[in-house]
Chain A
Amino acid sequence: MTKDKKELAVAALQDGTVIDHIPSEVLFKVVDLLDIKSLKGSVTIGFNLDSAMMGKKGIIKIAGVTYPESTLNRIALIAPHAVINIIKDYEVVEKHQVTLPDDLIDIVKCNNPKCISNNEPMHTHFHVIDRDNTLLRCHYCECLVSKDEITLK
């Protein structure tokens, strides 16, 4: 298969957002995180695509939508090396890696059943205390959540 034919497998975007370099195993978590199923426009989701860098990767192309930086940075929680491309008129006008914010509001669920955030109608709040290892601390009960224990709300 030639390179051209490979690229044709995924539709080109006129305007919108492309999220690339998502590890395949977390692709659908990213889909949930961005609440893509509620979108009305066209969305292309690529799963288990060949990648020279990652082996297999996922990619999401969302037509006609740009997200606030804070929303996109949530992706860093599960895909710290994901790359955001903003497309305008078929051109990439902006390209950058996601960065984990210092605070995560209402994104992660606390794993402590005795935490107030699991017992009141309220937002969860986590502090990122170790960016490299994605270690979080609950703002309320102060329990630690490591990368492998993260459950999205």
Chain B
Amino acid sequence: MKTKSLVSITDLSKDEIVHLLKRAAEFEKNPNQKILDGKVVATLFFEPSTRTRLSFETAVNRLGGRVIGFSDAKTSSQSKGETLKDTIMMVSNYADLIVMRHYLEGAARYAAEFSPVPIINAGDGANQHPSQTMLDLYSMYKTQGHLDNLTITLVGDLKYGRTVHSMLEAMWYWHPTFNFVSCKELAMPEQYKQFCDEKGITYHETTDFSEDIINESDILYMTRVQRERFSDLMEYERTKSLYTLHNSMLAHSKPNLRVLHPLPRITEISQDVDDNPKAYFVQQAKNGLYARQAIICRSLGIE
């Protein structure tokens, strides 16, 4: 039985991603199985993230495993000054798998180096969040029936949004075309555009969130524009309204178009989109459960 950590989406080959997508589809058909019977999974959330933690814990519970852990570093020995290494070593005495979220970047990569049990990264600062990327891929795969040659439009904060960076790194295997729609202050960083050039990915960059762009898209991936990214509040208000999706903008979109958002949304998607069958962000979050069940089983070597 092979156990494996998952720290970054780039740890996975194309074949491994495809395998995880197929496993997620199996779990969606049958989410309640007793295949983790006798297993203990620790969820160590050094920074609170209720949504991600509940998704992972539900994934374990529905597969018959048990969960231990903490949801805030204030309740752990970290608050007494214990090193991350000591905390991980201690917990690895009890658990078969550690799911960890940390406010420091690289924390999961470091933990995976010495931990005797596999580590799943549930987010390390602004760095990586591979289970989010897997659920994004699964949502695209499920709604489009395949991942090949999709036109994906990314809107909002493309500078700090880690989900959009990971998507580039994961999707290049399937020859996508990207539209990067953002204001100049939150544009896609140079290093990711270089990555696209190296991999031969076609991309278009624009500040104009137009219906033309929406109409050529298969996937419209909205992200949150955060106030703390702006020094000028007026600029924030202006940007926020420019990159808001309204239902009327979807009138002439492709029938297969789906609107995704990593959630929580603030104002990026207006409420009138919710009843449009092309709105997919709530189901997208639900897909996280199946994607995480697939990731947990991979880490524990359970097929």
Interface residues of A (CB under 8 A from B): 112, 114-117, 119-122, 138-144
Contact = CB atoms under 8 A, between A and B. Distances in A.
A53 B178 CA distance: 48
A117 B126 CA distance: 15
Prevailing SS type, chain A contact patch:
loop
B83 A112 contact: no
Contacts of B125: 114, 141
A27 to B, nearest CB: 32
Contacts of B94: none
A23 B106 CA distance: 34
B231 interface: no
A140 B191 contact: no
16 contacts: A112-B105, A115-B105, A116-B84, A116-B124, A117-B106, A120-B84, A120-B110, A122-B85, A140-B106, A140-B110, A141-B104, A141-B124, A141-B127, A142-B105, A142-B106, A144-B191
Given A120-B84, A120-B85, A144-B191, A139 B109 contact: yes
Interface in B103-141: 103-107, 109-110, 124-128
A114 B104 contact: yes
B107 to A, nearest CB: 5
A120 B83 contact: yes
A76 B233 CA distance: 46
Given A120-B83, A141-B127, A142-B127, A114 B105 contact: yes
B191 A141 contact: no
A115 B106 contact: yes
Given A114-B125, A120-B83, A138 B191 contact: no
A40 B104 CA distance: 41
Given A115-B106, A142-B127, A142-B128, 16 more contacts: A114-B103, A114-B125, A115-B104, A117-B110, A119-B104, A120-B110, A138-B106, A139-B106, A140-B110, A141-B104, A141-B124, A141-B127, A142-B8, A142-B105, A143-B105, A144-B191
